[in-house]
Amino acid sequence: MPAGWHVARRLTGLVEPYERFTLASFPLHRPAHADCGPNQAVDGMPADGALAFVIEYPRRGGFSRSSFPPQPGHFRLPPGPARRYDCFALGWLVRFRSGDRPFQVMIALGPRSAVNRGRLLRALSSLRVTTASP
C-alpha cells in the first residue's frame, strides 16, 4: 500500500459478492446509509484521487470462473473511457482470478490523478491472494 493511502474493509452495504477492501489515495469514511458500491467515496474524491474497490464472487453462482482471466502480473486500465456500472459510479472494471478465486476491481480516478493512478496500479499489481476462499 502506498504511504499515506487508506484502506476500508467494509465501506458499503454489499453482502454478496463479498467486499474485500477499498484502497484510496484519500481518507475513506463509511457513510450512514451504505449502498452496494463506494459511490459516496467516489463522489467526494479529490481531483488527484484514485480508488480501487475489490470484490470477490462466491463459489456458488451461475457464472463461469473461466470467464475471469488469470491475475495479471501488471494491472492496467482497460482501453477506452470510464463507464458507469451497477453499484459503481464512473470508472473502469477489471476482472481476474487467482487460483480458483474470482475477483472484480472497480477503479475510479480523479481528472488530475496521473501520479496516483500509477501508484494505484502498482499497488494492485503487488496484490497476493491466499488459497483460502469463502
The pTM (predicted TM-score) of the whole model is 0.90
Question: With helix as H, strand as E and coil as C, how does the chain read?
Answer: CCCCCEEECCCCCCCCCEEEEEEECCCCCCCCCCCCCCHHHHHCCCCCCEEEEEEECCCCCCCCHHHCCECCCCCCCCCCCCEEECCEEEEEEEEEEECCEEEEEEEEECCCCHHHHHHHHHHHHCCCCCCCCC
Average pLDDT value for the chain? 89
Query: Which pLDDT tens digit goes with each residue over 19-59?
Result: 999 999 999 988 777 788 888 888 889 999 999 999 999 87
Query: Which pLDDT tens digit goes with each residue over 61-106?
Result: 666 777 899 999 999 999 999 999 888 888 999 999 988 889 999 9
